[in-house]
Amino acid sequence: MHIEIKPLSYTKKLDSRPLEQIELLVIHCTELPDLAMARSYGEEIHYNSGTGNSGHFYIDRDGSIQQWVNPNKVAHHVMGHNKQSIGIELVNSGRYPDWHHSKKQTLDEAYPDTQIDQLIALINHLHRTIPSLKHITGHEDLDQRLIDASDDPTKKVRRKIDPGPLFPWQYITQKTQLINIGSTAKKYE
């Protein structure tokens, strides 16, 4: 399989870790229209360390895979679970651009077969190369916080709902050997 290596500009400033520390794979979708916009969000600096938020791997709709952060670095992709995990982001519009609008809380863009098949290949590749990796879950399972809706502060919406109901968990479970632990990944906090 081909992975294009495209490090974010601040990757040297991210914390290093031994690969044996990695136990968990977290599936995300970008909730942005394309990979280029995801890249500009990923490059934004949000922390005093001079780093920002991103996954390690990005898979575009056509199945092409890019690595933005080496797994031997801790990326900021999920609150409370970064140290032990790898983040994989699937390009998908999600709720863009009304992420937190109370009437737009559905993820209706399907994941193309090519994108999912490449995800499975990447998961199996990572499982072979990082033997300590054993669990998988979705961002929505780990971050269940509610925030005020953008259109109506008396309403609450989910901060994160990716990868959402159209993500084929059952198929992933059939084709890989990682155990889907859902929201029980609390133990990593």
CB 54 within 8 A of CB 69: yes
**Contacting residues for 84 by C-beta, under 8 A, at least 6 apart:** 21, 22, 23, 24, 188
- Supply the minimum distance, in Å, between the C-beta of residue 55 and Zn ion: 8
CB nearer Zn ion, residue 71 or residue 138? 138
- How far the first Cα of the chain sits from its last, in Å, is 33
Question: Given candidates 139, 149, 176, 185, which one binds Zn ion under the rule CB under 5 A?
Answer: 139
Least separation, in Å, of the C-beta of 19 and Zn ion?
22
In angstroms, what is the minimal distance from the CB of 60 to Zn ion?
Answer: 16
In this chain, which of 52, 135, 162, 188 binds Zn ion, going by CB under 5 A?
Answer: 162
Show the beta-strand stretches assigned E in 17-126.
24-29, 57-59, 65-67, 85-90
Chosen residue from 10, 24, 28, 135 binding Zn ion by CB under 5 A: 28
Q: Which residue's CB is nearer to Zn ion, number 128 or number 144?
A: 144
